Structures are given as C-alpha cells and as structure tokens.
Amino acid sequence: MRGLFRFALLALLLIAVGMTSAIVTMHFAIHGAEVKVPNLRGMTLAEAGQQTAGLGLGIHVESRLYSADVAEGRVANQSPAAGTVVRRGWRVWLTQSLGPMKRAIPNVVGMDQRTATLAIRGAGLELGESAEMPWPDADPGTVMAQSPAASAPDVASPVVNLLTAATMLPVEDGLVMPDVEGQVFTAAALALTRAGLKMAPVKERAAPGIGTGIVVGQAPPAGFRVDPTMTVTLTVAK
C-alpha cells in the first residue's frame, strides 16, 4: 500500500513538472516573438534597415518631408513609435527627411495645366492632386489656384496641388442668389460658378473671430434675383 502511494505521488510530481515546463515553453514562444521598436529617428535608411533587421522587423518609406532639424536622407519620423512592443515580422513606416526647404515654389497660376506641371517638375517638386471647377472667363485647363502658394514659407511637402478651370455648365436664365456667407471661399465660388454666375475679384477685410478665407459678405445679397449676365462679389476674412 505504501509503495502504491509513493508511485502515485511520483506520478503527480512528474505531471506537475511537465505542466510547468509546458507553461514556461509557451511563455517564451509567445514573448520571444515580441520585440520593442527601436528609435530610428536621425538614422540613415541603411542604418535603420540594419537596426530593424536584427530584431526581425522591416521598414518602408511612407513619405518624404522637409525638415529643418533632421539632415536630408535621414529618418524624420516613424510609426510605430520607439518603444512600442510588436511581433517579429512587423513593418516600421518611416518619413524620410528632405532637409531644409531649398526650392522656391513656382507661380503657375494662369498657366495651362501641362505647362504648370512641367514648371513644377522643373523646380524639383512633385505634382499632387488636380481638381477642376467651372470658372467664368477662363479657358478650360487653366490653373486658377495652387497650394502651396508661390514662394510660400515653411512648406512641409514637395507636392504642389492645382485647381484648374473646367468647362462652364449650362444653366437656366434667372435664379435666386444663394446664401454663401459663412462658407469657405472655394466652396462658395464653386457653388456660384456652377450656377453660371460670374465672379468679380475677391475683396478682403478683417473679421475678428472668423477664420481666414471664410466668406463674410456677398453682393448681390441672398435671395436676390440674378441671371448669368450679373457679377457676384464676395468678401472674405483675412
């Protein structure tokens, strides 16, 4: 009887040791596959690649931005942030610095889109988004606005976006002047030009508490009967 008890106790002990070993093995299997993302800011892409490869991580350059405090070609930002715990095989997304802004943004307003595109690329910049909007007294394809503006300071990205004139849509003679006060100028101008109305040069005035570019006045006023021969004047906050 005593021998049987000793055998049962030994069997229980072996089971407990086996379970403990399995738990420890599982713990290391799970946590051994996790690593902390290193701080890659300021490194070259080659250095960042070596640093992450040793941890079983990959890298991918998501974007390139100008930076006054990070040298050209080095990592300006990263995602996930340094210290984040991830699984091996994870990819770290990087923003590469272009260094300080050295190129002047060319003025392409008034050019046709093809010529504007060549001017942008000739300045070492990239063409971003191109949107169209019906615009009176302008040939279709003419650049009516750009972002950032010519010679704008503190530009973060080497991308220039364009707004070009589109063919005017036919409209019925006579309509009621819409209320565009409180709207962003571009949205108000789009609504008016789609209605076939002509735009006069924009006026500006100080409007404390109202954001820049918001329409604070219009002539004719809302509800006034207008037709395509009339000119609409908008006043925006500066």
Find tokens 């002509």 and name the residue. 198
pLDDT tens per residue across span 211-235: 777 889 888 888 777 877 788 889 8
Backbone torsions φ then ψ of 188, nearest 5 degrees = -65, -45
Find out whether 219 and 233 touch, Cβ atoms under 8 Å. yes
C-alpha dihedral sign at 50, 56, 61, 66 = negative
Residue 19 has pLDDT above 80, yes or no: no
Does the global pTM surpass 0.85?
no
CA gap 211, 238 in Å, rounded? 8
Find tokens 């609409």 and name the residue. 232
Dig out the tokens for 214 from the structure.
């918001």
pLDDT tens per residue across span 148-191: 888 777 677 788 888 888 776 554 556 778 888 888 888 888 88
pLDDT at 15: 67
Residue 141, CA distances (Å) to 121, 144, 175 in order: 18, 9, 27
Domains of the chain: residue spans and CATH: 31-100 (3.30.10.20), 113-166 (3.30.10), 175-237 (3.30.10.20)
pLDDT tens per residue across span 27-55: 444 445 899 999 999 999 999 999 999 99
Dig out the tokens for 212 from the structure.
């820049």
Share of the chain above pLDDT 90, in %: 29
pLDDT at 88: 92
Cα Rg of the chain, angstroms: 32
pLDDT at 213: 79
